[in-house]
Chain A
Amino acid sequence: MLRFILRRLASGVVLIVVISTVAFALLYVGSGDIARRILGQTATADTVAQKAASLGLNRPLYVQYGDWLSHAVTGNLGISWFTGQPVMAAITSRVAVTLSLVIGATLISAIVAVVLGVWAARRRSWPDRLVQVISVLGFAIPGFLIALGLVLVFAINLHWFKPTGFVQFATSPSGWLASITLPVIALAIGGIAGVTQQIRGSVIDALRQDYVRTLRSRGLSANRVIYKHVLRNAGGPALAVLAVQFVGLLGGAVIVEQIFAIPGLGQVAVTATTQGDVPLVMGLVVVTAIIVVVVNLLIDLLQAFLNPKVRLS
């Protein structure tokens, strides 16, 4: 088991290093004359050269990358070119907000998908068709359109929620809950659509397995067999889909945060992108990669817990 974890961890670290290398090369080469961009067209060639030297941009790319990497492993991702704020601080102050949205949406989609998926798999007739229609629509309609629809209906017309603004959990737990309800629902609908289909399919498959009949022949009720045995066996493929959904939700959060004016990573990303704040963008890419790797590792562990065969392979 320990070897399993270590191996997954190692491959995750390799992934992060590769992503950061590629991103660094593309960002720093692609940006062209960075010092000129920061100082604007009116700056003299001298000041531009000075700026480039002070940012260390006149060194060879691999030296710059080595420099960045040696700082990055200590948690120092450099300094924003436009605000002067450390990149790490800009990200850590926002990451909790985004993660609470995305994790909330992931959990809700998992729970709702299990309920809907099992329902559709067992009833098969009209509930099945209903679930199919819902998941096709939920999958097809982009998340930000759903978010806009929710704002229009529940915030602007019905006044149930405030359309924008975010309340810190520490300030008011109930206010926090109210402020993330619509964004989380908007994000969750797409996730529910994808995971429900998977759960439905794998529950139908699992229900046909011989051991289901045998367990029931021992006097276990259908519900018990489904929720304890079938779901555990159907869980593996569903978790794999959930992991993919998580990556998608992380991307969806960028847009949804913008709609609800939530100060998360998405806002930082959009600002940094429009300004061309390369160190900040670089930091965001790396942090996103780390989040994805950690989540995949957690999902792998959960898979191994659910299915003993994974532990051995």
Chain B
Amino acid sequence: MTQSMPLPDPSLTPAVEERGARVSLFRKLLKNPIGLIALIYLALLVLSAIFAPLIAPADPNLASLKDVLLPPGPGHPLGADSAGRDVLSRLLFASRFSIAGALLALVVAAVIGVTAGLIAGYFGGWFDSVSSWLAGLLMALPGIVVLLAARAVLGPSMWLSMAIFGVLLSPAFFRLVYASVSAVRNELYVDAARVSGLSDGRIIGKHILTVVRAPVIIQAAMITGIAIAIQAGLDFLGLGDASIPTWGSMLNDAFSKIYTNPGLMLPPSLAIALTCIALTLLANVMRDELERSASPAKRKKSAKRGSAMAAAEPGEAIVSHPEDARSEARAGEELLRISDLAVGYDQPDGSVKVVVNDVSLTVRRGEVHGLIGESGSGKTQTAWSILRLLPEGGRVVNGSIFFEGKDLANASEKEMTKIRGKKIAYIPQEPMSNLDSSFTIGSQLVEPMRVVLGLSKKDATAKALGLLERVGIPNPKRTFSAYPHEVSGGMAQRVLIAGAISCEPDLLIADEPTTALDVTVQAEVLNLLRELQAELNMGVVLVTHNFGVVADLCDRVSVMRNGRIVETGPVRSIFAHPEHPYTKSLFAAILEEGEARGELVPAANGPASGISAADAPAADAPATGVPATDAPATKQPASNERVGS
């Protein structure tokens, strides 16, 4: 929350804000039904423990032979135990000791863990390494084994056991505080506080403690539950102090009569279970509420992002250019026909946010259809909807996607699995994140070929090696057995291209295939794409924000804006006569950029030279257009993809 905000007065604002957050967290806790019930239960428990001497009907240790194992009745509301002691009285007094013991463990754990975590996280150095190592050491052994060992030498003292258990639990606080403090230590507002002359002590008090307070409170609830459980466990084993009643020792007594009086187990079991559940639920509710109160900022951001996409205003006419001789000559049979496509995302409130609307386009065999537009214009969403691989919550809400006579918009998942890879393939934008880092490059190429084409492992391996060589990888064998993190981005993109063409698809969806690459590599990859497209006579949907790439590769282009196509037609015609104001502004943006870069001007300057770039050596391609639209796309690469999340 406060972490990335530039704060005007670093010494005041976080504390004030945090105090407000804390009050509202408590209020939210009261509004949450689960939180309220847990709080009420715990409050009643603590009150009944405090006032046990007043409420309890009898002395918890008063044994009475005539009352042994008496069922619940007037004298003993919950009956009497194997020594004739009143169960209700014992339960009330046991709460005192069980809670006090757990609180002792909590205090010891919190004092040691928080202090050590603050020092180690804030100052670092040798204390950091020593305490981190010690924390690991303390967590290496099961707590109960250490407690048994301590009991062997120190005798049955609940207080001692719980203090030792507190030490054993301290790493839980240490790690939590350590992680938050070392994350905050280098934040700007802490730097600012340091520069403004605040002492370390005041910085820790004002800035660091406020950050760790909420997580520490949550952790405290969890730790108290664990301490109650282990304390009950020790006493249940009969290792506790026999002179004080605890829930565990009551359970121990009841367990010895489990055959004759199983009902005796109920009161202490319920007390332990309900208390542990209440504490855990309380911690969970607090965590949820904290996350929720931290998310409005996030939500605002994504809403903004979404609105850029969702503003698919109705009505505007699409500028459609007529076919020219060149585009007619290139085109073969029709492969893909998208009509009136709309893509939407289901919102938590049940509405659907439409991010692509009224998109219609066709791709013929051997034809490259460019989809151009700035980030968030819906071009990637359109590409994913063809594959029916939209992120979670996204779906085609209207229109049809006909491919080889089948409407993919309504195809079953099973049918789509058969089409993907074999008929329609996909080249992603970011090479590294699109390879599974846990598998070798070779196995990621071989697996789909075996599944889709039914090849044997040997044949698929041979074919994969051939493909790697075809896409220009110098040492195919080495790359085949390498892991993704062992190759460069350019190599990884070639691997992804090899994977996309491995099953010889009819249609290729390329989503900004060169954006994430170095300028020099971009040219080579574009060349490769052009060659492969011609070789396999594929139809291609090429998503890009770069007019240079369009000029270089595409036969036809559709300009997208706010989820709609605003202008579409043969590349030559659009470059020569851009009609829609948005298309014109895109060209103008290139010109502005071009002037600054001098030599870039000729390539993107006039429509004629733009077209000539298509036939010119591809090395020109990345240089021709680095349009202004590049800037938003590279700054926020994730923004146009992650609408749903």
Contacts and interface: CB of A to CB of B under 8 A. Distances in A.
Interface stretch (A88-96, A181-189, A213-221): A213-221
Contact of B279 (A140, A152, A224): A140
B630 interface: no
A281 B448 contact: no
A255 interface: yes
Given A19-B137, A27-B153, A307-B438, A213 B389 contact: yes
Given A26-B153, A219-B420, A292-B141, 16 more contacts: A15-B137, A26-B150, A139-B280, A152-B258, A215-B444, A218-B500, A220-B448, A229-B439, A232-B436, A233-B436, A272-B148, A277-B152, A281-B149, A284-B148, A289-B141, A293-B140
Contacts of B336: none
Contact of B451 (A139, A224, A309): A224
Given A136-B280, A140-B276, A152-B258, A255 B425 contact: no
Contacts, number: 216
Contact of B435 (A211, A222, A284): A211
A151 interface: yes
Given A145-B269, A208-B645, A254 B496 contact: no
A218 B448 contact: yes
Contact of B141 (A141, A244, A269, A288): A288
A135 to B, nearest CB: 10
B499 interface: yes
A144 B236 contact: yes
Given A209-B433, A276-B153, A15 B140 contact: yes
B412 to A, nearest CB: 12
Interface string B425-457: 110101001111111000010011001100000
A27 B149 contact: yes
B342 to A, nearest CB: 21
B272 interface: yes
B97 interface: no
Interface stretch (A52-60, A112-120, A166-174, A245-253): A245-253
A285 B144 contact: no
B88 interface: no
What is the interface of chain B mostly: helix, strand, loop, or mixed? helix
Determine which residue in B141, B145, B239, B645 has the highest number of CB atoms from chain A within 10 A of its CB, and name it: B145
18 contacts: A23-B149, A27-B152, A209-B433, A214-B435, A219-B419, A220-B447, A247-B141, A251-B142, A252-B142, A254-B142, A255-B233, A255-B237, A258-B236, A269-B145, A270-B148, A273-B239, A281-B148, A308-B483
A259 interface: yes
B438 A232 contact: yes
A136 B438 contact: no
Contacts of A66: none
Contacts of B451: 219-220, 224
B421 A217 contact: yes
A254 B452 contact: no
A270 B281 contact: no
Nearest to A28: B153
A224 B265 CA distance: 48
B413 interface: yes
A210 interface: yes
Interface in B501-549: 502-503, 509
A251 B645 contact: no
Determine which residue in B146, B149, B277, B384 has the highest number of CB atoms from chain A within 10 A of its CB, and name it: B149
Interface in B383-441: 384, 387, 389, 391-392, 413, 417-422, 424-426, 428, 430, 433-439
Given A27-B153, A30-B153, A136 B141 contact: no
B428 A250 contact: no
A214 to B, nearest CB: 4
A85 interface: no
Contacts of A269: 145, 148
Interface in B220-275: 225, 229-230, 232-233, 236-239, 251, 255, 258-259, 262, 265, 269, 272-273
B139 interface: yes
A295 B437 CA distance: 26
Determine which residue in A213, A259, A272, A274 has the highest number of CB atoms from chain B within 10 A of its CB, and name it: A213
A211 B258 contact: no
Interface string A180-211: 00000000000000000000000000011111
A219 B417 contact: yes
A278 interface: yes
A118 to B, nearest CB: 15
B154 interface: yes
B194 interface: no
B391 A281 contact: no
Contacts of A137: 277
A289 B152 contact: no
A142 interface: yes
B353 interface: no
A299 interface: no
Contact of A210 (B262, B273, B417, B433): B433
A122 B602 CA distance: 52
A27 B148 CA distance: 11
Contact of B152 (A210, A255, A276, A292): A276
A50 interface: no
Contacts of B141: 19, 247, 285, 288-289, 292
A159 to B, nearest CB: 12
Contact of A141 (B139, B236, B276): B276
Nearest to A18: B137
A43 interface: no
B474 interface: no
Contacts of A145: 269, 272-273
A218 B151 contact: no
B182 interface: no
A217 B426 contact: yes
A224 B150 CA distance: 51
Contacts of B148: 254, 269-270, 272-273, 281, 284
Interface in A253-281: 254-255, 258-259, 269-270, 272-278, 281
B580 interface: no
B617 interface: no
B284 interface: yes
Contacts of A251: 142-145
Contacts of A277: 152
A285 B438 contact: no
Given A26-B153, A142-B233, A152-B262, A19 B280 contact: no
A241 interface: no
Contacts of B272: 142, 145
A219 B418 contact: yes
Determine which residue in B141, B276, B413, B430 has the highest number of CB atoms from chain A within 10 A of its CB, and name it: B141
B413 A284 contact: no
A152 B265 contact: yes
A144 B426 CA distance: 53
A254 B435 contact: no
Nearest to B146: A285
Nearest to A278: B152
Interface string A45-67: 00000000000000000000000
